[in-house]
Amino acid sequence: MITWRRGREIMTERLRDEAVPLEPFMKSLLREPPQRVPGTAVYLTAAPEATPAALLHTLKHFQTLHERVVFLTIEFRELPWVPFEKRVICEKMRANCWRVRVRYGFMNRPDVTRALEQCGALGLDIDPMQTSYFVSRQRVVPGIAPGGMAFWRERLFAAMARNAGNVTDYFNIPTNRVVELGTRVLI
């Protein structure tokens, strides 16, 4: 458990250090916007102020952006339950982009699909059949990096990360609507 916890801390630090701030990125992107395609793209991100790696990969490979973009952050509170009516916060950004924060207590069952349905009452109406979910998957690569762990612990953490549960199952995201884009993280 100590290896898992320390490995997650190191991985979070590495990802935070490499993250591109969302607001300046969106400003620069919208100066010369890419072609927009129909539908909604939901990008899951742990840090609401950072540009999701999946968005960067999407723009790099496809040079397109969906007509509606949602940056979704799921937060867990140190409460057993967060009432349904207090779970979802929607913030409209520029160019038909939205920031959505969904809050759960540690006893709540996360359900992204249901949370996005709740966004309709807050001004963000999403058609589930026209929605794609983009998830960043990190592949942990053990190596000699400053601030890391012993090499054997890095290898153990990499194996544990490979065997960790699937985010789409845990957050109840329709598996046939998910696009996973990978990033290698050196720990």
- Per-residue pLDDT of 103-121, as tens digits, reads 999 999 999 999 999 999 9
| Contact partners, residue 129, CB within 8 Å, separation at least 6 | none
Would you state the pLDDT for residue 145? 67
DSSP 124-184: ----GGGEEEEEEEEEEE----TT---HHHHHHHHHHHHTSPPHHHHTT--GGGEEEEEEE
pLDDT at 11: 87
- Residue 110 has phi, psi (to 5 degrees) of -60, 135
Query: Which pLDDT score is estimated for 81?
Result: 95
135 near 55, Cβ under 8 Å?
no
Q: What is the pLDDT of residue 26?
A: 93
Q: What is the pLDDT of residue 170?
A: 92
**The pLDDT value given to residue 24:** 94
Mean pLDDT by 10 residues, the chain (187 residues): 91 86 92 94 93 94 95 96 93 94 96 94 93 91 78 91 89 93 83
